[in-house]
Structure 1
Amino acid sequence: MLRSTHAGRSLLEVLMTLAVGLVPITSGLAVMGYQLDKKLEQVSSTSLQEALFVIDRALDDVNQTTLKALPLSGKPCRAVQDELKGLVLRSPHLHSLSLTQDGQAYCSSASAFALHSPNFAPGEHVKLDFGVPTVPNEAILEYRLPDKNPGVSASAYGVKLRNELNGFQSGLVLLLEFGDNYLWSAGDSRSAERPSQAEYFQSEASTKYGYTVKVGFPAGYRQQELLQATLQTLPSLALVGLLTSAFIYWGLFRSRKKAIHDATR
């Protein structure tokens, strides 16, 4: 009876030692998961604000060039077309500048035979367009000065916006939405599927230009990052757990040995 009691107590001590050894492992993994959540949430939030800043700045450049062309509006095309071309040459991100009357282009820096008049919705002055006659396979950003007649409109290459998006952290998907059309670093709304932004999703509209930035990590990204971090950290946590178990077991062993010694005195 005494032997079975001793065996049961020893088994209980081993189980308790193992349980205590698991505490630093489970708590370490829990803290790591919490820190990963905070990190990804912060990356998403910070990238959203940075994207709004850099895209607004890119559109500011388009706006400034368009304002420089405004004094030419209303003048005969033949008299000012060379100046329009010069403005475009000094702004490599631009595809063309057009002078407009009642919303219709009557003069373009691109070609007198390739006039293009984007269809802006009421109150809209920035849009993403596809199928512009002179660049049919490109994503083109269309911009017009609001409330100007005669006025000026500008066409900028969408690749400039993609280049801005490529500067952000790998793994995060940033998408720029202009009404029903959108683009991201690897495609646009002509693609077969919209990119996944299922995790840590955030969005905000530009107060200056009306487009929307949407950011998020693709589905499964957190699990992948957590697995990678676990594989890197688990050996260290396991060592801590093993040392903790050994220390506890040694303490229990000493206590039991002391108790036996005191009982035999």
Structure 2
Amino acid sequence: MPLALKLTRKWTDRYALILLSGLLPIVLGMFIIFWQANRSLEWEATETAREAVRQFDLMLDNAAMAADAVLPLAGQDCPQVELALRDQVTRRPFVRSVNLVWENQIYCTSLFGSFKEAVNPADYNDGVLWLLPGNPVTPDEPLLIYRREKDHAGVIVSLYGFHLVNVLGLINQYTQLMIQVGDNSIDRFGQVRNTPPGPYPVTPVTVPSTHYPYSVVAGFSSGTVWRFVKGQYPGFMALLIFLGMISAATVNQLKKSSSSPTHELQRGLEAEEFIPYFQPVVRGDTKQWAGAEVLMRWKHPTEGLVRPDLFIPFAEHSGLIVPMTRSLMRQTAALLAPHTHTMAPGFHLAFNIAARHCQDLKLIEDCREFLDAFPTGHIKLVLELTERELIVPTETTHALFAALHSLGVMIALDDFGTGHSSLSYLREFNVDYLKIDQSFVAMIGSDALSRHILDSIIELSVKLDLGIVAEGIETEEQSQYLAAQGVEFLQGYLFARPMPSADFVTSLVARLTPT
């Protein structure tokens, strides 16, 4: 098999015609595909809006807790209570300022101490929330104001608007979102409007908060359905255009071609040609080796060492990725178990897993077998969830991840910040680590927006008490910046390239003191 040619051919050149022609009636094809596209976009908009509401409720919960804490102080002299106000600003995430009110008059603030300004309850939606484009202190920065009142006393808590904008932009880059508070609204670009927003042209969805008087509006721009169809179903579009031109001989040829890569992968698996390569992961503070990611390489008898991007997609599509990963774990255990003394306790070994691994519980036994090869507790096994195929949350997947955690296996989200479902994975699965995608790391020092996104991801991991790994580090500037931000683990060519097992063991012996 001419591997370089076969494995680099597009998926649609080999599979789309025969698969789609067997699954979808030609006459109803376009109707079905557009109907399904609308349903998918509506589901995505709804789930994204619900996730946004959940995160905004958490922000407002912090404002409510700050208000509850200082409301009993309303009416006391400002010099006696202003330190308590500032303490709440320090203790509560997202809170910018805390202000005391007496008879609808602000008289003490965490920013300025004694202060006088009238409060108009009518400005607040349901008397609770007010969205502003800015105030005299920061005229160009939006604010969300939370108000709590009891008798003559009251508290006003302001939240940073850029936190709102970050959530709107980070949850799902393809879905348009805005927050609506009364007649005011704010979008992902930080623009505040004082008129009720119109619905988005495609699959408009409004999800109200059940705890606070605001809603999240989600949807897509005009033309999204067509772009979605072109992006998700190119093979079916080609089928409708070329169906009359393609003969039975062409279909049979495509079918034969489609099976060839799978047969070659099966042959390579039986011949144990898929071997482990190791890329070290270092600690951000000391740069000592803390573990390694185990990468799969194909040592082909005629093509030489084959890159993973040329065969992993075929392995995942065919289902062979599961036995290939099992073989990789067994080889790794056999290679490293005799050298356990060269690895510090808690040394991490990470493997990539795909959606196919999560369809049954066999992965549990594979992990148990791997851990049993090492002294108890000496090795930390990490499974990195890839997003080439969506991992659907089911009873099986939840049972799988629960059993893995009971074994001490840790779960990491690979390439966090680039996939469609990263945030939904955080909600559905008990994740231990986030791996920052190298595209954000590469922009350190050159792109302010990517740096803000990177900082937000780091801040998110801290708030969720997750470990964080940054990959793709190639410069000392990137390493120093990430270490200064408190990133725990670093990975990239600056420290080491992926290396064969023999070189990895040699480096372990040279670097780590035997225990």
- Give me the whole-angstrom Cα distance separating, in 2, the residues matched to 1:51 and 1:92: 17
- The structure-2 alpha-carbon separation of the partners of 1:93 and 1:150, relative to structure 1 and needing over 3 Å to count, comes to same
Corresponding position of 1:52? 53
**Which runs of structure 2 are paired with 1:83-102 in the superposition (5 Å)?**
83-102=84-103
Q: Distance in 1 between matches of 2:170 and 2:248?
A: 45
Give the CA deviation at 1:52: 2.1
User: RMSD between aligned alpha carbons?
Assistant: 3.0
Task: Say yes or no: does 1:217 pair with 2:220.
Answer: yes
* TM-score of the two chains, using structure 2 as the length reference: 0.40
Render the CA deviation track for 1:31-76: whole Å, top value 9, x for unaligned: 3323212211111222232222221221111111111112321111
Give runs of aligned pairs for residues 173-252 of structure 1, distance below 5 A.
Answer: 173-190=176-193, 197-235=200-238, 242-243=246-247
Q: 1:34 to 1:245 in 2, by over 3 A?
A: farther
Greater RCO, 1 or 2 (C-alpha within 8 Å, sep 6+) = 1
Displacement of 1:99 in angstroms is 0.7
Written as runs of structure 1 = structure 2, the 5 A alignment for 1:1-265 is 24-112=25-113, 115-121=116-122, 123-190=126-193, 197-235=200-238, 242-243=246-247
Q: Are residues 33 and 148 of structure 1, via their aligned partners in 2, closer, same or farther at CA, if it must alter by over 3 Å? A: same
Question: 1:173 offset after TM fit, Å?
Answer: 1.0
CA contact (8 A) 2:107 2:114 kept: no
Mapped contact 2:42–2:205 kept (Cα < 8 A): no
CA separation of 1:115/1:90 partners in 2, compared to 1, >3 Å: closer, same or farther? Answer: farther
The offset of 1:148, in angstroms, is 4.5
> Residues 134, 54 of structure 1: CA spacing in aligned structure 2 closer, same or farther, 3 A cutoff?
same
Q: CA deviation at 1:112?
A: 3.3
Equivalent residue letter for 2:138: V
Unaligned runs of at least 5 residues, structure 2: 1-20, 252-515
Alpha-carbon distance, 1:186 to partner: 1.2
Secondary structure of 1:124's aligned partner:
coil
Q: Structure 1 stretch 80-89 or stretch 195-204: which is displaced more?
A: 195-204
Shift of 1:118: 4.5
Q: Give the Å deviation of 1:184.
A: 1.3
Cα distance in 2 for residues equivalent to 1:113 and 1:148: 21
My pick for the range that moved more, 237-246 or 45-54, is 237-246
Once residues 221 and 53 of structure 1 are traced to their aligned partners in structure 2, the CA distance between those partners, rounded to angstroms, is 26
Offset at 1:231? Answer: 3.3
TM-score by length of 1: 0.73
| Distance across 1 between alignment mates of 2:66 and 2:215 | 23
Instruction: Determine the C-alpha separation between the residues in 1 that align with 2:193 and 2:38.
Output: 33
**2-side partners of 1:165 and 1:206: how far apart?**
15
The alignment-based identity, stated in percent, is 28
Within 2, Cα distance between the matches of 1:87 and 1:118? Answer: 21
Partner of 1:261: none
**1:96 and 1:154 in contact (8 A); partners too:** yes
Structure 1, residues 88-110: CA drift from partner, whole Å, max 9, x if none?
12234222111110111110010
Q: Could you tell me how far 1:153 is from its partner in structure 2?
A: 1.0
**Alpha-carbon distance in 1 for matches of 2:74, 2:190:** 35
Q: Is the 8 A contact 1:77 1:107 kept in 2?
A: yes
Deviation string for 1:166-194 (max 9, x for gaps)?
23222211111112211011132359xx6
State the SS of the aligned residue for 1:187: coil
Structure-2 separation of matches of 1:135 and 1:113 = 19
Tell me, in whole angstroms, the C-alpha distance in 2 between the residues paired with 1:227 and 1:136.
43
Q: Distance in 2 between matches of 1:153 and 1:230?
A: 51
1:113-152 superposed Cα distances (whole Å, 9 cap, x missing partner)? 6555543317411111233122121111111113343121
Say whether the 8 Å CA contact 1:195–1:218 is kept in structure 2. Answer: no
Q: Helix, strand or coil: the match of 2:121?
A: coil
Please state how far the C-alpha of 1:246 moved relative to its aligned partner: 7.8
Structure 2 letter corresponding to 1:50? E
Residues in 1 aligned to 2:32 and 2:241: alpha-carbon distance in whole angstroms: 15
Aligned position for 2:321: none
Work out the CA distance in 1 between the residues paired with 2:114 and 2:135: 13
CA distance in 1, matches of 2:225, 2:169: 21
What count of residue pairs does the alignment treat as equivalent?
A: 225
AA in 1 matched with 2:163: K
Judge which range, 196-205 or 114-123, deviates more. 114-123
CA distance in 2, matches of 1:25, 1:102: 71
Larger Rg: 1
For 1:222-245, what per-residue CA distance to the aligned partner results, in whole angstroms no more than 9, with x for missing partners?
A: 122223334354446667762459
**Alpha-carbon distance, 1:27 to partner:** 4.0
| Matched residue type, 1:227 | K
Q: Match for 1:69: what amino acid?
A: V
Structure 1: runs of 5 or more not aligned: 1-19, 248-265
Letter in 1 for 2:106: A
C-alpha contact (below 8 Å) 1:204/1:213 kept by paired residues: yes
The answer on whether the counterparts of 2:179 and 2:217 sit within 8 Å (CA) in structure 1 is yes
Aligned position for 1:13: none
| Corresponding letter in the other structure for 2:32 | V
Aligned partner of 2:55: which letter? V
